[in-house]
Amino acid sequence: MQPEATDAVGVSIGPGGFTGLRIAVSTAKMLGEALGCALVAVPSALVAAGSYQGAGPIIVALASKADTCWVTRIERVDERWAPADDGRLADARSLELRDIKALIGDEFLPRGIRDACSAAKVAIIDPKFDPLACLAATEQRMNGGDTTDPLSLGPRYPRRPEAVVKWRGGGTAESHRT
């Protein structure tokens, strides 16, 4: 396949590591501009859900820090996973586990959330970030007309990056997209 035959570039936008997301988004923007193709922003929660074969709905918990993590509810729609919300920061007290079949979360998942899952009999599954899941989500979004302008494409961070908080001399944990 020739580069000019590329219809779209999909990129997992986070949440995730600060440097990795910046590099991925910058690379996607450069490819989109150089090839003249569409850009598709794929939430990392959708990529993590893509390899899960069980029943839904599920929660994907990413970017854990202290007692919080970024949680996104994912549901099956026409045999594919789809985000039911944009995600939010949550702790064990604010996490809604009623009717959830599984939670995808890594080894950094806060103890309180692990305990809440155990009490609710919700299985915790290790995330798998499969590039084929990102490709499938890219195709699904592209076919639905969900593309992103290169100027507005940016990583999704659940909190202000530590360097920014230290530089500004404080701040609060909040959803932040730059």
State pLDDT tens for residues 51-85. 899 999 999 999 999 999 999 999 998 888 999 99
d(CA 70, CA 46): 13
Q: Which residue has the higher pLDDT, 162 or 175?
A: 162
What span, in angstroms and rounded, lies between the C-alpha atoms of 58 and 100? 5
How much is the pTM? Answer: 0.86
pLDDT digits (tens, 9 = 90+) for 136-163: 999 999 999 999 998 899 999 887 777 7
Query: Which pLDDT band, with edges at 50, 70 and 90, does 27 fall under?
Result: very high
| Token pair belonging to 99 | 């009717």
Q: How far apart are CA 160 and CA 178, in angstroms?
A: 10
Contact residues for 109 (Cβ-Cβ < 8 A; gap 6+): 61, 64, 69, 103, 124
Tell me what the mean pLDDT of segment 35-48 comes to.
95
Spatial contact of 146 and 13, defined as CB atoms under 8 Å apart? no
Domain boundary assignment for the chain:
3-177
Q: Note the pLDDT of residue 176.
A: 46
